[in-house]
Amino acid sequence: MVNASISGETTSGALSHLDSTLQEHSPAVVIVELGANDGLRGLSLKRMEDNLATLIERCRGGGARVLLIGMRLPPNYGPRYTAAFARAFRTLARRYHTAFVPFLLEGFAADMKVFQDDGLHPTAAAQPAILDNVWPALEPLLGRPAAQ
């Protein structure tokens, strides 16, 4: 297991170092949990979706199975933007037939006791709930041949 994430990363930033990361680690499974920072910065959702599509394609091209993790935005971004943001993840999961978790923080997103002071990043106390959300989609990918 390698955590190749960078705090505050956008989908564009992740693309800039993805190829070298794939080459260095040759992963069998890649968990793509990106896009939240694109959304929180109000960046183009079309660009975010395109970047995520490229990430999925490059991971698969490197022989990795992909688990796409969706996120949601706070309601203050407006219903149109927040709905389009969430829809982008579902659209990509369907298009690429990837394993998919619709919302990483499902079931505890409103429980501020398990978030850091910024109200965005979960604490260690949230990790069991995150595992409960991710494991059903991740477990089947482990030990299974890559889909091309």
The pLDDT assigned to 110 comes to 93
Query: Which amino acid is residue 29, in one-letter code?
Result: V
pLDDT at 145 over 60: no
Query: Which amino acid is residue 114, in one-letter code?
Result: V
Report, as an integer, the average pLDDT of 26-41.
Answer: 96
Sorting pLDDT into bands at 50, 70 and 90, what band is 147? Answer: low
Q: What gap in Å lies between CA 11 and CA 33, rounded to an integer?
A: 9
Give the pLDDT confidence of 91-141 residue by residue, as tens digits.
999 999 999 999 999 999 999 999 999 988 999 999 999 999 999 999 999
- On the CB side of 29, CA atoms within 13 Å amount to 17
Domains, the chain: 11-141 (3.40.50.1110)
pTM over 0.95: no
Residue position matching structure tokens 């149109």: 80
CB 102 within 8 A of CB 90: yes
Sorting pLDDT into bands at 50, 70 and 90, what band is 144? Answer: low
